[in-house]
Each structure stands twice: as C-alpha cells, then as structure tokens.
Structure 1
Amino acid sequence: MTAPTHRRNPWVMLVAFFCLVAVVALVGSLAATAAPEIYARFTVPSWAPPADWFGLVWTVMYAVLALAGWAYWRTDGETQGFALYGIGLLLNLLWSPLFFAGGSTRLACVDIVLLDFFVLMTVGLFYRRSRAASLLLLLYFGWLCYTTALNVAIIALNDVG
C-alpha cells in the first residue's frame, strides 16, 4: 500500500512547485529585460502603477501561484485541476515574450484573456478539494484582471499592435 500523495515528501514538493513557477518567472523576466524602457514609451492610464512595482507584485503572485499548486497537491488533487494549472502556467509564460520581446500588445491581450479564463476554471476545480488553494488563486486572478485591464488600456491609448 502506498501513502497518499500529500504525505509523501511535502517539503520536497513545495520546493518543486516553487521551482516550476520560478521557470515561468525566469522566462518572463528574460523576455522583459527592456520592459522599463518599453513601458515608459506607452501612454498609460492614470490608474497604472509605476513600472518598478511590477517586479515586486509579480514576485508575490508567483509565490502565491506556487503555494496554490502545492496546497492542491496536498489534497491528492485531480489530474484535471493540474492540467488547467499547467495551461495557466504556460499562458503566463507566454505573456511577457508576446508583450515585450515580441512587441505585440494585441496577441499578449488574447493570451492574458485566455489566462484569465483558465485561472478562473482552475479556481473552481481547486475549490472542490482545497479552499486555501482556490483562495490563493483568486488573489492571483484579481491581479490578472487588473493587468488585463491595463493591457487593454495600453492598446486603446497607444494604437499599438
């Protein structure tokens, strides 16, 4: 008989979730090396934060995302929940390369709207097993909605691709 998943190496799995999310963060940061200069060229809405806030907030959001995945895993989470979580990570990974490195605010907007959808679906699946995991993802979802609105505003205010 094997032990339930949540009883096997929980701290190793926590590190694994942080490493997985760190890869997403690293790709995003590599694609966004010129982000401050690019962001400074845009007309942004009055409610946009200063550019230097994004690194701090995204660091917190990535930690929240890793903790949510780990909390769900601790409940012997279903494969479908992990599949949506993984799709969300992939869509998150793609946004910075599209927006900053690729220079396509519109494609980045499509990506982040899809990300919003998949994260919201993941919240629902996580909720069935772990309210803590779903609440963590709701915090992340709130930030995504804000950044989605900012992406849309940048497109509208700058007439950019």
Structure 2
Amino acid sequence: MKFKPLALILSIALTLGIGALGGWATAQSVKTWYPILNKPSFNPPNWVFPYAWTTIYILIGIAAYLVWMKRDKIVHFPRTVAIYLIQLVLNLSWSFIFFYLHEIGFALAEIILLLLVILINAYVFYKIDKWAGLLFIPYILWVTFASFLTYNIFILN
C-alpha cells in the first residue's frame, strides 16, 4: 500500500471540518447557556473538550484513510462509507441539538444512537483494517463518557 499524503490530509480535514462546524454550534452557548447548567462533579473544564475532540477527529480521519486505501478490496465499500458518514453526521448533530437548540433530553437520545453507530463503524473498520478499528477506541471511550455526562446534566437540569 503506497502512502498517499493528499488522501490522508483530506481525510483528516473532513473530520476536523466537522469538528469546526460543531465548534461553531457550541461557541455562543459555552459562554452563556452552558455555564448556568447544573453539572456533575466530574464535568471536565471547558478547555479539555477542544483538545480531546481534535485528537479524536485526527484519529478517525487516519482510520478512514486506512480504510480508503483498501477500498478496492472491500466488497461493500459504499456501505462502509455510508456508515462512516452517518456517524459523522450524528456527531455533528449532537452539538447542534445540545448546544444550539438546548435540547438536553433529545441530545441524550441522539448521543446513545451516535455511540451505537460508532461501535458499528469501529467493527466494520476493524474487519477491513485492524488499526483503523483500533483507532476508534478513544472515540468510543470519549463518547461513552460524553453520554454519561449528558445523562447527568439531563438529570440535574
């Protein structure tokens, strides 16, 4: 497999672009609405989130690149791409639902669906390329934590 730097850059840029859109959706509420919410004691400080998400977006971008490089050998490549794109859309949607619309209960339901699709995506990627699947582990862990955090914010508010 020959390294394709442009494909890697584009793959990472796509995920970081999703992150930037999510950041846009959260920017105002992080300053106004989010601080007045009751949050659990384990709520991380706000500065943690951009670093965590940037790292995760880079890792899933690399995972997508690894899968893309094997696309000619994947029988159901369009399905694989669809699963990947669905989890990206759900990822972005959560930011809009929670921070832009302020719908904590709906965000909780949505993040559970997101976690399920991430697990499916990780499994599909793992079957294609072991490292691509393993690169989803931090994403799975972070969204699991985010789900628990969202649940607690929902209960407290």
Both structures adopt the same fold (TM-score exceeding 0.5): yes
SS in 2 for 1:32: helix
2:79 corresponding residue in structure 1: 80
User: Does residue 49 of the first structure (1) align with residue 44 of the second (2)?
Assistant: yes
Q: CA offsets per residue over residues 101-139 of structure 1, 9 Å max, x none?
A: 111111211221111011101111111111101011122
SS in 2 for 1:48: coil
User: Does residue 28 of the first structure (1) align with residue 22 of the second (2)?
Assistant: yes
Q: Aligned-pair distance for 1:146?
A: 0.4
Q: TM-score, normalised by structure 2?
A: 0.90
Give the AA of the match of 1:91.
L
Q: Aligned-pair distance for 1:23?
A: 2.1
Structure 2 residue ranges without an equivalent (≥5): none
2:57 corresponding residue in structure 1: 62
Give the AA of the match of 2:136.
L
1:12 corresponding residue in structure 2: 6
Where has structure 1 moved over 3 Å in runs of 4 or more?
A: none
Structure 1 residue ranges without an equivalent (≥5): 1-5
SS in 1 for 2:33: helix
Q: Aligned-pair distance for 1:20?
A: 1.2
User: Aligned equivalents of 2:147 and 2:50: distance in 1?
Assistant: 16
1:139 corresponding residue in structure 2: 138
Q: CA offsets per residue over residues 73-101 of structure 1, 9 Å max, x none?
A: 12225322221111000001111111111
Asked if the contact 2:40/2:153 (under 8 Å) is kept, the reply is yes
Q: CA RMSD in A?
A: 1.5
Asked if the contact 1:39/1:51 (under 8 Å) is kept, the reply is no
Instruction: Number of aligned residue pairs: give it.
Output: 152
Q: TM-score, normalised by structure 1?
A: 0.88
User: Aligned equivalents of 1:143 and 1:81: distance in 2?
Assistant: 22
SS in 2 for 1:16: helix
Q: Aligned-pair distance for 1:47?
A: 1.4
